[in-house]
């Protein structure tokens, strides 16, 4: 590992940290150490990181703002590549926006609404980055990323970097080709929005934001929605109807506000969260014969 660190530092690719606790980088404040945490300072640096990682046969994982993520208490083998503000540039050309993967989705939605552009109102309370949102086709309030994305700039494992169209991203409910067939890192995205009434757009944004504040426990560390909606049912409603609100194991607790959120009520471990998830799965299947699937990504050492 020392040799890899020296190589990364020699190319001045950005920040490199060894055995860095990932609890510092996830919204639920849980996660053991990564062998390496790398924060590239540019797209060119990111390409070099992938080249070095592949040359050393090092496993890797990209993260953004750490939402929708549950990292094992034992941490992660290999390199965790964190895409931050350095990869967060924005270019606006009429109703088309080119934005870097590290940009905050909430900040983007807020900025765009003030310019009278519509299409991102659904994202007003989604706490992730643009890259993560594209990767998982994030959505809310009846819309999602697939409705507005024109194309995405992707760095693949083999070092190739190419633009994929909306169709090539193979979007479906909370997923994309990057999860299903071709592992890669979202570098940039181009969104096409529509011009609208600025006051109406801002009002819609505020309504969505207020709804989230009233119904979701963002005053506690959490990872966002834990389960995918088993349509036509809704995960939160099933969990609430099963009487599971407030159920806890260790420091992990099903929110009293929303059944599809597990909060870190104090020193929760990934093991605690996984035990709560399993209890929900077992209970919902016993009551309704419905198999619950997680939306939150569970990664790291077993």
Catalytic annotation, residues? 174, 225, 295
Return d(Cα 209, Cα 301) in angstroms, integer.
Answer: 35
Q: What is the DSSP string of 229-269?
A: --TTS-HHHHHHHTT-TT-EETTEEE-SS-TT-EEE-SS--
Q: If DSSP codes are grouped into helix, strand and coil, which group holds residue 64?
A: coil
Residue 286 CA to residue 279 CA, distance in Å, equals: 11
**Residue 21 backbone phi and psi in degrees, to 5:** -65, 125
Rounded CA gap, 66 and 43, in Å? 20
Could you give the C-alpha distances from 39 to 79, 194, 240, 279, in angstroms and in order? 10, 34, 40, 36
Q: Are 25 and 66 in contact (CB under 8 A)?
A: yes
d(CA 269, CA 272): 5
* Local structure of 247: helix, strand or coil: coil
Residue 29 phi, psi (nearest 5): 60, 40
CA distance 150 to 99: 12
């Amino acid at each position: 590992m020392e040799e890899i660190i020296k190589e990364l530092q020699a190319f001045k690719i950005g920040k490199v940290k060894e055995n860095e606790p990932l609890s510092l980088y996830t919204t639920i404040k849980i996660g053991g150490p990564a062998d390496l945490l790398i924060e590239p300072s540019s797209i060119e640096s990111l390409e070099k990181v992938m080249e070095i990682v592949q040359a050393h046969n090092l496993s890797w994982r990209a993260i953004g703002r750490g939402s929708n993520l549950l990292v094992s208490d034992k941490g992660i083998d290999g390199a965790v590549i964190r895409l931050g503000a350095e990869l967060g540039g924005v270019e606006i050309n009429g109703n088309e926006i080119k934005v870097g993967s590290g940009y905050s989705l909430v900040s983007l939605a807020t900025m765009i609404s003030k310019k009278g552009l519509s299409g991102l109102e659904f994202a007003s309370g989604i706490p992730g980055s643009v890259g993560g949102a594209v990767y998982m086709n994030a959505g809310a309030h009846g819309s999602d990323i697939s409705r507005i994305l024109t194309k995405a700039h992707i760095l693949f494992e083999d070092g190739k970097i190419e633009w994929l169209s909306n169709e090539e991203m193979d979007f479906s409910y909370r997923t994309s080709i990057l999860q299903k067939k071709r592992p890669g890192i979202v570098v940039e995205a181009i969104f096409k929005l529509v011009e609208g009434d600025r006051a109406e757009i801002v009002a819609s944004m505020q309504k969505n934001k207020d709804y989230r504040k009233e119904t979701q426990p963002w005053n506690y560390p959490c990872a966002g929605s834990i389960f995918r909606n088993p349509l036509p049912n809704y995960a939160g409603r099933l969990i609430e109807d099963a009487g599971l609100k407030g159920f806890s194991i260790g420091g992990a607790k099903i929110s009293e506000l929303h059944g599809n959120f597990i909060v870190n009520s104090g020193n929760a471990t990934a093991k605690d969260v996984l035990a709560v998830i399993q209890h929900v799965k077992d209970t919902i299947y016993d009551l309704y014969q419905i198999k619950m699937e997680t939306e939150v990504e569970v990664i790291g050492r077993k």
